[in-house]
Amino acid sequence: MHVHILGIAGTFMGGVAALARAAGFRVTGSDRDIYPPMSTQLQALGIEITQGFEAAQLEPAPDVVIVGNVMTRGMPVIEALLDGALPYLSGPQWLSQQVLAGRWVLAVAGTHGKTTTASLLAWILEHAGHAPGFLIGGVPTNFGTSARLGTGHCFVIEADEYDTAFFDKRAKFVHYRPRTAVLNNLEYDHADIYPDLNAIQRQFHHLVRIVPRNGRIIWNAADTRLAETLRMGCWTPLEGFARAPHPEARWSARLTGDGSSFEVHEGERLHGTVRWSLLGAHNAENALAAIAAARHAGVEPARAIAALGEFQGIARRLQLRGTAHGVRIYDDFAHHPTAIATTLDGLRRHVGAQRILAVLEPRSHTMRLGVHRGTLAAAFAAADAVWLYAPADLGWDAGAVATELGARGHLAREVDALAAELAGVAQAGDHILIMSNGGFGGLHGKLLERLQARGPV
């Protein structure tokens, strides 16, 4: 059967492509902007990709078209799809029918931490011999891929609250029917589709409604919005977690320093100490959620703790891209003020007094709409200097945020000029944290090249 995927280069749809290929389907696809790590993964799978969304790609007609949520009415390929009455499904719907049916689904939801928690959970299950399938919005280094079918009964999925497709405006995660659901946190995001936080909260409650009585909801007990959501009605046993002891938290952590080690407590019981390569209190929370979810699937905490000690990280999550003459360049996916602040806090705890130069591309729909501009400056509290990329089509005045940052704030209008400016001010011992949910015009590579050509300072 020939499956054609529209919007194949997104992390979710690229994962769907990998699963379809592994399941024996012939897979092709199309997209506009394709960059690592998904471009690398699709190339390795030998999947034929068409650039753009013209109608001709549907000739000859595939057996089914899987439609990504980046697709809209008016695109030539969508109009041809509808005019031709070709069979089509959304990615989540296809996944539910072809991959998740009959499996123990462990779904990880939340505004932040989904990719990390899902990666940790998949690795714990793998380490314990469960051979899980998974679909994650990133590439865990331990696996080298964002998706696989797996041979075991469990399937871990990053459960996104973004809408499903132009013809299905429900959140993606309602299609997954999890037996184990992780709720990491709940904040306002996706301003292009949700008018306010209450609208997102209702979608999260739709997820709560479909978790069975013999399932489990693992939730962040310190998150007041999640508590409100659960009070709207819950029919499933709950297990709370929090980074510090909390009345409703069964699981808690005791951190030391930068979070590269922490104790895991279940009530008054100490299960052991995680010593790993990740940083920050937020990642300790992610680990607690993964440990609790894995226990529901049959993995004892001691085994989970041992697995976390062998976890190697995730592409684009505080990933060291390179070092040139003592300047370290990191790549991170952060694109929400909370994620920016927690990432910077973890790095600050790790590097001490060394300089952190933070660089942000406001690329997500919510960022480009300027929804978070009032809280953005405060998110950079742990940075010594901040560069905001403000192209002409940004849609709001990033200069006001730069002004709020004072002498630490800088604006950049063009990627090459930004690389040159950063290379000019960077010194040995600096840490440059580049944050974007896209490719940022190849800034990481351009900056490394300029630093290497410049020589030591």
| DSSP per-residue string spanning 380-393 | TTT-SEEEEE--TT
Q: Domain 102-308: which topology?
A: UDP-N-acetylmuramoyl-L-alanine:D-glutamate ligase (3.40.1190)
What confidence tens digit (pLDDT) does each residue in 165-187 have?
A: 999 999 999 999 999 999 999 99
Specify the pLDDT at position 257. 86
Which DSSP symbol is given to 328?
Answer: E
Domain ranges for the chain, please list them.
2-91, 102-308, 319-454
Predicted confidence (pLDDT) per residue in 295-307, tens digit = 999 999 999 999 9
- The number of C-alpha atoms within 13 Å of 281 and in the hemisphere containing its C-beta is 16
Give phi and psi for 30, each to the nearest 5.
-150, 155
Least confident of 246-260, 326-340, 362-376, 420-434: 362-376
In sequence order, which residues have a C-beta less than 8 Å from that of residue 101 and are 6 or more positions away? Answer: none
- Do 171 and 161 meet the contact criterion of CB atoms below 8 Å apart? yes
Residues 6 or more apart whose Cβ sits within 8 Å of residue 154: 103, 104, 106, 125, 130, 132, 133, 297
Provide the Cα torsion 362, 34, 190, 156; round to 10°: -130
Other beta carbons within 10 angstroms of residue 114's beta carbon come to: 25
Share of the chain above pLDDT 70, in %: 100
- 3-state DSSP: the chain helix, strand, coil percent, rounded to 5? 35, 25, 40
Q: Are 331 and 319 in contact (CB under 8 A)?
A: yes
Find where tokens 């290929």 sit: 21
CATH class given for the domain over 2-91: alpha beta
Using the Cα atoms of residue 444, residue 450, residue 453 and residue 457 in order, give the sign of their dihedral: negative
Decide if pLDDT at 150 tops 90: yes
Mean pLDDT along residues 129-137 = 97
pLDDT digits (tens, 9 = 90+) for 110-131: 999 999 999 999 999 999 999 9
Distance of CA 60 to the CA centre of its chain: 35
**Beta bridge mates, 165:** 168
Per-residue pLDDT reduced to its tens digit, 335-368: 789 899 999 999 999 999 999 999 999 988 778 7
- Average pLDDT of the chain to the nearest whole number: 94
| Whole-number Å distance between alpha carbons of 181 and 204 | 11
Looking at 27-41, 95-109, 110-124, 257-271, which range is the least confident one? 27-41
Report how far apart, in Å, the C-alpha atoms of 135 and of each of 42, 341, 444 are. 14, 27, 26
What predicted TM-score, i.e. pTM, was given to this entire model?
0.90
Predicted confidence (pLDDT) at residue 38 exceeds the cutoff of 80: no
pLDDT of residue 217: 98
CB-based contact 155:325 (threshold 8 Å): no
Separation between Cα atoms, residue 452 and residue 454, nearest integer Å:
5
pLDDT tens-digit profile of 389-444?
999 888 888 999 999 999 999 999 999 999 999 999 999 999 999 999 888 999 99
Find out if CATH 3.30.360.10 is the number for domain 319-454. Answer: no
pLDDT surpasses 90 at 73: yes
Q: What is the pLDDT of residues 179-233, one digit of tens each?
A: 999 999 999 888 788 899 999 999 999 999 999 999 999 999 999 999 999 999 9
Q: CA angle, corner 228, sides to 225 and 229, nearest 5?
A: 90
